[in-house]
Structure 1
Amino acid sequence: MAIDRATAALLGGALGDALGMPTQLLTPEEIDRTYGFVDRFVAPSDDHPVSRGLPAGAITDDTEQTLLLGRVLLESGAVFDHRRWVDALVSWEREVKARGSYDLLGPSTKRALDAINAGASPEDAGRGGDTNGAAMRIAPVGIVMPFEPLEALVAKVAETCSATHNTPIAIATASAVAAAVSCGVAGGNWREAVDCAEHAALRGANLGDGSARADVARLIRDARDLVRGRPEAEAIPLIVERIGTGVAAAESVPAAFAVLELAAGDPWRAAVVGANLGGDTDTIGAIAAGMAGACAGMASLPAGRIAELKGLDVEAVRLLAAELVAARFDRPDGRVAA
């Protein structure tokens, strides 16, 4: 079961990412005018600011960085290898630039990598990173780390955030997502996963550089309360207006939990809702559908849609999921084996 759910977490995230790829940065009105209601993979418009030229179903940096982090976790051993992670990100950035897609990098990651390339240490580069890049790629930490002990899971999240998102809000939001995935991999349902997320967010808010802190657990609760029992047509504008869908972690991560609530834990529905929100649709959809996938397993994912994904080796994802689960159970304290 754990491997099945871990695979669903990664592939669910990819579905949400690809479905939201053509709608990112647009308003809900622009999405409707350009594509109609998005419930299938569509190619971005020719004048899209960042996605133009990509085929329908293409994944973006959300999925690519998630898989990259998973590999580095496995290669690091018991202690997360910051230098290996930074080198992997810099190499990945170089490849992204060569593909002409540098604008797909998130602002905190882009700023941190530019600082590292200019000579800053990884420890200093992540200061000020308060966007959702850490949360969007954190699923492998949730797969490899059990929820208990909670301190160990959140510490591993904070380690992976250090170089690009070393702030309380980024660590708290990433901890919430990782905890939800971890709970799902262990067999929990999506409601149990959200409870785990709130506990992890409280602990993660005490870590990182800077004094600006947010009660992410409360933001998650408020977001879920906002949409509970409402139809999608009513809930979507409420998410946009009252929570926000921008790249700030304090907006997009609570929005993803609202989407999870609205979709009642269904991964594809979470991807669909995320794609029609406007703003950072690919990241919100990836986070929400990834958490849902971890809690529902592969049977909940549409196999036909997975087959339509572009730029993703599905068998490699399955293998990565299996390796991460093996590492999860390799040590009694949940650390990755060397």
Structure 2
Amino acid sequence: MSDRSVAEDRAKAALIGGALGDALGMPTQLFSPDQIRETYGFVENFVVPVPDHPVSKGLPAGAITDDTEQALLLAQILLESDGAFDHHRWVNALVEWERDVKARGSYDLLGPSTKRAIDAINSGTPPEEAGRDGDTNGAAMRIAPVGIMMPSDAPAALVAKVAETCRATHNTSMAIASAAAVAAAVSHGVSGGDWRDVVRHAIGAAKLGAGHGHWVAGPDISARICWATDLVRNEPAERAIGLISELVGTGVASQQSVPAAFAVLEVAQGNPWRAAVISANLGGDTDTIGAIAAGMAGACAGMNSLPQNRIAELNGLDMGIVETLATKLVAERFRRFGGEEAA
């Protein structure tokens, strides 16, 4: 295949892989590993959430959540923004999105950092100031489109675009470093790169990302990613799940869930569906960790690596929209920056 065809294939796999991880983790999010085992057993197929689930109740098996929907929304705003990212259009789109999901009866709404920032902007706070306290994983969970659009061989430009899209809701060093690591991993995959080199690209991007936004106290994201992947290397999945849950952490904090996603990628050996399965059984923010890990894996492995029967079982994902957005983002990548070689 040509570089352009590879990029389009990898871009679609990044978005669809992310949706698979999101949907598989949807019923188990917020549960502890013990609760997951008691309620569902070992999750390796799409299951219906329990009737009293705090955020997933009423959703069918295989339903995507805010992780996938906001990633696709960000892709649209990136394509609609002429040059500089349109913060006001982005914030208005998020508000409209939340209104729509409420009308659909969903309980999985905007995350704490995004909600707080939108309330501030609607009260007159400039977008560049509204996100100064946003340090959770909301930016990282939806950042894949930036990785698709921006080339991996221009890390400073990629991280600058990540920071630009984070400004209104997650304008902190922690969130930007985390989102930059994920975007760099996706971009590396879209360029034709292998999952084994992902951590190197992610660490470099995280270091650059930490220089953007408002500083917040917390561990170095690049060091956490390196440590988390080393922690689980060559460990069997069952033990790795325990190590990630107990030591890395699986909460909404960027310094937990993003290193956890890279650890999952390591345990899964770059296999998107295996990454989704491991994530779904971790406990905590399983849908977001799954979306990030399986999305990065998909970007590095392509559409042939994704289980077609599982894709057919997804609920709420319009494949036509996914393919159109992936193709347009890749077109922007080549229009603005030309071809590139995987590093």
Give the structure 1 partner of residue 243 of structure 2: 238
Answer whether contact 2:189 2:195 (CA < 8 A) is retained: yes
TM-score after normalising by structure 1: 0.96
State the partner residue of 2:275.
270
CA distance 1:172–1:333, shift in 2 (3 Å): farther
Partners of 1:149 and 1:333 within 8 A in 2: no
Report the Cα offset of residue 192 of structure 1. Answer: 1.3
Identify which of 153, 175, 179 aligns with 2:184: 179
Write out per-residue CA displacement over residues 154-196 of structure 1, whole angstroms, 9 at most, x where no aligned residue: 0000000001100000000000000000000001000112211
Partner AA of 1:44 in structure 2: P
Displacement of 1:233 in angstroms is 1.0
AA of the residue aligned to 1:163: A
Give CA deviations for 1:92-136 in whole Å, capped at 9, x if unaligned: 121122223254321111221222233332222111101000000
Q: What does the per-residue CA deviation read over 1:283-311, in whole Å, with 9 as the maximum and x for residues that have no partner?
A: 00000000000000000000110111101
| Runs of at least 5 residues in structure 2 that lack an aligned partner in the other structure | 1-5
Gaps spanning 5+ residues in structure 1: where? none
The residue that corresponds to 1:22 in the other structure is 27
Given residue 127 of structure 1, which amino acid in structure 2 is its aligned partner?
R
Q: Give SS of 2:212's match.
A: coil
1:250 is aligned to 2:255: yes
| Root-mean-square deviation (Å) | 1.2
**2:98 counterpart residue number:** 93
Q: How far 1:87 sits from its partner (Å)?
A: 1.3
1:313 aligned to 301, 311, 318, which one? 318
Among candidates 199, 213, 220, match of residue 215 of structure 1:
220
Q: Which segment drifts farther, 78-87 or 175-184?
A: 78-87
TM (norm. structure 2) is 0.95
Of 140-149 and 8-17, deviating more is: 140-149
Which whole-Å CA distance do the structure 1 matches of 2:303 and 2:26 have between them?
Answer: 22
Provide the aligned length of Structure 1 versus Structure 2: 334
Q: Which one of 137, 143, 155 corresponds to residue 138 of structure 1?
A: 143
Verify the 8 A CA contact 1:227 1:261 in the aligned structure 2: yes
Structure-2 residue corresponding to 1:198: 203
Distance 1:253 1:277, change over 3 A: same
Q: Identify which of 216, 224, 227 aligns with 2:229.
A: 224
Q: Which stretch of the first structure deviates more once superposed, 248-257 or 205-214?
A: 205-214
Secondary structure of 2:37 counterpart:
helix
Partners of 1:46 and 1:52 within 8 A in 2: yes
Report % sequence identity: 70
- Counterpart Cα distance in 1 of 2:245 and 2:188: 28
Moved over 4 A (4+): none
Does residue 48 of structure 2 align to residue 43 of structure 1?
Answer: yes
